[in-house]
Amino acid sequence: MSDNINYHNNPLHGVGLKQVSTELVDQYGFEILYAYLNINCFNTNASIASSIKFLQKTDWAREKVEAFYLYQYKNLPRASAEQFELPPRERIVPDDQKPGEPAELSFTDAKRLKQKRAEKAEQRNNNQRRQASKTSRGKQKARTANKDSDPWANWP
């Protein structure tokens, strides 16, 4: 990390994973956290200790919880695309952005968000299938063209 970059405005600066988890569970509870984040440590044998143990070992889950902490619990505006690519602890929060009150969350909103994510995932999968189909058709045409031009390709 560079010395000239100020990370002190990031609400995660100097805050441990235990404190983040405790604040989130105290505010929302395990059920809401599971509904929004879909991380099993908030559903199966849910406790602060087991959640911390899992989050310490699993980078993607820890980053998901930390982002939730920043943008739902601390209610910061969404990060720029460039900053969003960085892990939450490395993001630079502009000086004019100050944490607000925790967002009000409900199971209804969680269900709507889950449905929206499922639709996006389905759309992404369809796009990937289309791309794969185009690629395989192109390869098939290339193989057929090679067979037509190569007399040994049709050898019995």
pTM over 0.75, yes/no: no
100 & 123 share domain: no
pLDDT for res 10: 81
What's the CATH code of the domain at 75?
1.10.720.30
* Residue 87 neighbours by CB under 8 Å, 6+ apart: 59, 63, 66
48-57 pLDDT tens trace: 999 999 999 9
Which two structure tokens, joined as six digits, stand for 80? 């720029």
101 & 123 share domain: no
101 & 26 share domain: yes
Under a CB-based contact definition with an 8 Å cutoff, are residues 89 and 10 in contact? Answer: yes
28 & 70 share domain: yes
When pLDDT is averaged across residues 15-21 and rounded to a whole number, the result is: 92
